[in-house]
């Protein structure tokens, strides 16, 4: 049995072959793609545990591929493989959502160690979520549609759908406002004071018919953030926890 399935997206055939051979020898199942467009199709098609992604590629760059992966499969780990070693390039890649960054040329032992480390950190990440039933609602994230308990159908706006999908992809833990801002809104949340997340959650609860005082879909976890009900943790409480914060 293979350790995990690794997708290698690299346009340089010699580099790609070396990476694929090293991973295969170490016991991984390996898929490969020679350009960004093919890599993206494979990455979002399911069955991939981690992606090794070059930045400078034809058709779609690694950054463009990563942007779509973070939107459609936010829990999928991605490591950049690139000849760009400047600090500003590494920071740009990490801010875009990469889990790690390996600068070429690199040895197979370093690469394997980084793959193993990222897989360990990502062990709790679930597979891509497309449909779920919670609080009496049936939610189709691919179609951005929710069917309420009374069979009323509502369309979820893109932003609210992405927030809900990120929560669904992280069951069993509260997701902080800062993490949502970073992963969904793609902004630097450090020292940022904003009620953007709270307002989006309020809109989402309204669309889902979720009572903010007794939520059955999205609960607020004291001093931590938001999570889907029924996935562990403790919801409700004082000081606005369990109900929507009010604008001042």
* DSSP notation for 32-73: EESSHHHHHHHHTTS--SEEEEESS-SSS-HHHHHHHHHHH-
Question: Could you give the CA distance from residue 209 to residue 70 in angstroms, rounded to a whole number?
Answer: 27
What does the pLDDT read at residue 42?
Answer: 93
- Residues 147-172 have a mean pLDDT of 89
pLDDT of residue 138: 92
Q: Give tens-digit pLDDT for 91-111.
A: 777 778 888 989 888 999 999
Q: Give the residue among 169, 163, 174, 72 at the shortest CA–CA distance from 125.
A: 169
Average pLDDT over residues 112-131: 75
Same domain, 103 and 210: no
Across 193-206, average pLDDT:
92
What would you report as the CA-atom Rg of the chain, rounded to the nearest whole angstrom? Answer: 20
CA dist 96 and 40 (Å) reads 16
Supply the CATH number for residue 206's domain. Answer: 1.10.10.10
Q: Among 46-50, 206-210, 244-248, which is the least confidently predicted range?
A: 244-248
105: buried, middle or exposed (CB in 10 Å: 19+, 13-18, 0-12)?
exposed
pLDDT reported for residue 119? 85
Which pLDDT score, from 0 to 100, does residue 103 have? Answer: 87
Q: What is the mean pLDDT of residues 129-157?
A: 89
Q: Is 158 inside a domain boundary?
A: no
Whether residues 33 and 114 share a domain: the answer is yes
Residues 15 and 92 in one domain: yes
Q: What does the block give as tokens for 48?
A: 């991939």
Give residue-wise pLDDT tens across range 184-195.
887 777 777 889
Give residue-wise pLDDT tens across range 61-76. 999 999 888 877 777 8
Structural domain contains residue 245: no
Structural domain contains residue 145: no
Cα(173)–Cα(50) distance, integer angstroms: 22
What angle (nearest 5°) sits at the alpha carbon of residue 186, between those of residues 92 and 248? 135
Where in the sequence is the domain holding 96, given as residue range(s)? 5-121
Specify whether the CB–CB gap between 89 and 17 falls below 8 A.
Answer: no
Neighbour count for residue 91 (Cβ, 10 Å) = 11
Out of 94, 121, 148, a domain closes at 121
Q: What's the order of all strands across the beta sheet hosting 78-82?
A: 29-33, 5-9, 50-54, 78-82, 100-103
- Between 85 and 191, whose confidence is greater? 191
Q: Are residues 183 and 95 in the same domain?
A: no
Res 192: pLDDT: 77
Residue pair 230/134 in contact by the 8 Å Cβ criterion? yes
171 Cα distance to chain centroid: 12
User: Quick check: 130 pLDDT over 80?
Assistant: no
Residue 23 and residue 95 in one domain: yes
- Contact call for residues 232 and 220 (beta carbons, < 8 A): no
pLDDT band at 125 (very low <50, low <70, confident <90, very high): low
Domain count, the chain: 2
Q: Distance (Å, rounded) from C-alpha 51 to C-alpha 215?
A: 36
Mean pLDDT value across residues 3-24: 93
Strand partners, 5: 29
Residue 247 counted as domain residue: no
| CATH number of the domain residue 24 falls in | 3.40.50.2300
Structure tokens at 248: 């001042």
pLDDT at 212 over 70: yes
Domain presence at residue 128:
no
The average pLDDT across 150-158 equals 92
Strand partners, 89: none
Tell whether the model's pLDDT for residue 244 goes beyond 60: no
The confidence score (pLDDT) of residue 85 equals: 64
Q: What is the structure's pLDDT at 218? A: 94
Do 20 and 111 share a domain, yes or no? yes
């Amino acid at each position: 049995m293979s350790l995990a399935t690794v997708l290698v997206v690299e346009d340089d055939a010699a580099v790609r072959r070396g990476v694929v051979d090293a991973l295969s020898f170490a016991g991984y199942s390996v898929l490969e793609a020679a350009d960004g467009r093919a890599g993206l199709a494979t990455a979002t098609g399911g069955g991939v545990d981690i992606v090794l992604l070059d930045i400078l590629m034809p058709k779609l760059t690694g950054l463009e591929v990563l942007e779509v992966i973070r939107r459609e499969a936010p829990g999928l780990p991605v490591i950049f493989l690139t000849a760009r070693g400047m600090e500003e390039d590494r920071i740009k890649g990490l801010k875009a959502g990469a889990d790690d960054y390996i600068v070429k040329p690199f040895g197979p032992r370093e690469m394997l160690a980084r793959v193993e480390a990222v897989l360990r950190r990502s062990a709790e990440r679930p597979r891509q979520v497309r449909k779920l039933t919670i609080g009496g609602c049936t939610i189709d994230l691919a179609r951005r549609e929710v069917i309420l308990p009374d069979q009323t159908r509502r369309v979820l706006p893109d932003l609210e759908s992405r927030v809900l999908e990120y929560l669904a992809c992280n069951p069993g833990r509260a997701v902080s406002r800062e993490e949502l801002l970073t992963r969904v809104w793609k902004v630097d949340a450090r020292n940022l004071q904003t009620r953007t997340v709270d307002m989006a959650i309020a809109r989402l609860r309204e669309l889902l018919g979720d009572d903010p005082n007794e939520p059955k879909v999205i609960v607020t976890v004291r001093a931590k953030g938001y999570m889907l009900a029924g996935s562990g943790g403790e919801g409700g409480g004082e000081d606005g926890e369990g109900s929507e914060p009010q604008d001042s």
